[in-house]
A and B are shown apart, each in its own frame.
Chain A
């Protein structure tokens, strides 16, 4: 079955630095991969989607890369701010049909000022 691993449970960085989060997957070749943000007591919120034929996707201070050879996605937040502190989840489709998402356990990012 598919397996998703987010390497770090927690990441602490200083304001202004770039945060880099890693998502690895096995036993699967997904057509796309997604990243979500989750704040305490709230549901996840979609951030970015990257497809297998895309190497990189950007949105404001966010950047996602997708390396299908390494089976890895990197999620970057540049010029990080304390407001970026949250848990970040990567997700991919449960099957080639893409009918449901499975999630990694998440990385909790803390940005200190």
Chain B
């Protein structure tokens, strides 16, 4: 049982380059999320999805795009990377909770450096 898997684990980009981070979950979860984690800032929500084909903005969406074409996958794209996007990115998923709350399962993270 893999849970939440992120690809790649590490990446170095040059300013202006583009890339896509892939998140895959095998738990049939409806909700999926992308967070970034920076020293002193904690985890901040970038975008999230409540179901296949739907996405929504989080707290820090600028410079990122997402797509959820399949229920099990959530892609995070950087069209033109900037040094400010150097961070550790975490994907997470959870069941639909109906407002009652359920635990979120996190991937192992992707460490991205933009030079």
Please determine whether A101 and B33 come into contact, CB atoms closer than 8 angstroms. Answer: yes
Q: How far is the CB of B108 from chain A (nearest CB, A)?
A: 6
Q: How far is the CB of A32 from chain B (nearest CB, A)?
A: 4
Against B, the Cβ 8 Å flags (1 = close, 0 = not) of A55-77 are 00000000000000000000000
We find that the number of chain A residues with CB closer than 8 angstroms to chain B is 27
Please determine whether A51 and B99 come into contact, CB atoms closer than 8 angstroms. Answer: no
Chain A residue, CB-CB nearest to B101: A32
Residues of A with C-beta under 8 A to B56: 99-100
Closest 5 CB pairs of A and B: A43-B106, A105-B42, A46-B103, A32-B101, A103-B43
We find that the number of chain B residues with CB closer than 8 angstroms to chain A is 30
Residues 75-98 of A at the B interface (beta carbon under 8 Å) = 89, 91, 93-94, 96-98
Residues 75-115 of B at the A interface (beta carbon under 8 Å) = 90, 92, 97-109
Please determine whether B104 and A46 come into contact, CB atoms closer than 8 angstroms. Answer: yes
CB of B48 closer than 8 Å to a CB of A: yes
Checking A36, A46, A96 against B99 with a beta-carbon cut-off of 8 angstroms, the contacting residue is A96
Chain A residue, CB-CB nearest to B48: A100
Residues of B with C-beta under 8 A to A93: 99, 101
Against A, the Cβ 8 Å flags (1 = close, 0 = not) of B40-73 are 1111110010100000101100000000000000
